[in-house]
Structure 1
């Protein structure tokens, strides 16, 4: 009888023919890695160690330009609305593949 192929991931056996799904929505939210994984904290000391743009040979080619766009977007936003603040609880989309906001109530003052 031929042996079947399998892999073991953290003690779980993945047998030949089984599907495994990796979801980006779970990235950067592991409780052993981040003190408050479900909380958005722009001052998080290890915020640079995230998976948003991939790494190594699979790094996003647009990483640098995306970072600049985000930096200048927030600079312009806070320049125009210096008193911007949260006006309620954010509502998250239920999409498991990409974590994103459905609604973010703000007061722009």
Structure 2
């Protein structure tokens, strides 16, 4: 699809105007969220349970759970703030760490 759209660099998910022309600019976060919710509904899922932010934060949480180094995960999630991205890692460590196992 990237070849068909002639996308060689820049954002993968781009704006498409009413005439079908592909823009160089990325979709806005709001647009990504609307597309995600529409696709969830088409798949028979409750769109209220999904959000673009949830997918992005869920990615970082899962990366933390799998032991992926934070800088490597941030390259994929495109988080600019280490503090924000690290908060997902800290939450995963709290849930999975040795101290959490004492509560069982």
User: How high is the TM-score relative to the length of structure 1?
Assistant: 0.28
Q: Which has the higher contact order (CA 8 A, sep 6+)?
A: 1
In our comparison, the structure showing a higher alpha carbon Rg is 1
User: How high is the TM-score relative to the length of structure 2?
Assistant: 0.29
